[in-house]
Amino acid sequence: MTAIIVGPTLCDNQFAQVEPGNVLRRRPYSRPWRIISLRDGRLHREWGNSCSKKLDRDCYGIYWVFGKRGTLGDYPWKEEVLMISLEINGKGYEVDVNSEVPILWVIREHLQLTGTKYGCGVGLCGSCTILIDGRAQRSCQIPVHETAGRRITTVEGLPADHLVKRAWIEEQVPQCGYCQPGQIMQAVALLSEDSSPDEEKILAAMDGILCRCGTYPRIKRAIRRALKEVGRG
């Protein structure tokens, strides 16, 4: 399974990754559209029961590319459903899913723990960050079978009075708030690994979590505030 960026045209290396009949989805459960032809560096597509000869701006974005199996109504991991045992936020769960489904979709769609956000779907924005055995991981990239028997923590699993959550509130970090669960989980992982990181280590740890609102100065202040709490503890 791969991902491509769909725009007015596709560059050559992306063009080589798709062929007529492939199904594209913005996310695993979203409405799909099927490639019906490739010409002049452009995709021509069938969306549901309607056809379009061009892609308008509303169609631009990052898409998952799936093979020709199944119908437009199927989601790509419908086959080979298994029972998988998970430990999330200290609770045990058993879910019937395909073992290759990213843990993000199990958390959000099956368990309705929607604090963890879907962003880019290719592990680049960090909105989907969770802790697995205490380490920050991009949940959109990790198949659920790799998390069986491991300790998973989402933002819902942090106590309300957790020092990082308190620091985020006191510094009034969020603006739109969409990326903040990922920011918080990355900060928690950082502080658990190093109780006195320097500026360079803070920037390196938080660099992979994008904030389109530009709240980075407030994020850094919140982390420094939380570090003071660690020092006093």
Phi, psi of 115 (to 5 degrees): -65, -35
**Strand (E) or helix (H) holding 19:** none
What mean pLDDT comes out for the span 75-91?
Answer: 77
Banded model confidence at residue 52, pLDDT cuts 50, 70, 90 = very low
* Alpha-carbon span 91 to 54, nearest angstrom: 48
What mean pLDDT comes out for the span 187-215?
Answer: 94
59: pLDDT strictly greater than 70 = no
| Tokens at 77, concatenated | 């991991």
Please state, in angstroms and as integers, the Cα–Cα distance from residue 178 to each residue in 8, 41, 212, following that order: 27, 34, 9
As a whole number of angstroms, the longest Cα–Cα distance in the chain is 64
pLDDT at 48: 45
Most confident by average pLDDT, 1-5, 46-50, 228-232: 228-232
pLDDT at 77: 45
What mean pLDDT comes out for the span 11-35?
Answer: 58
Q: Which domains does the chain have, with CATH numbers?
A: 2-66 (no CATH), 81-154 (3.10.20.30), 163-232 (1.10.150.120)
What mean pLDDT comes out for the span 140-166?
Answer: 95
113: pLDDT strictly greater than 90 = yes
pLDDT at 122: 81
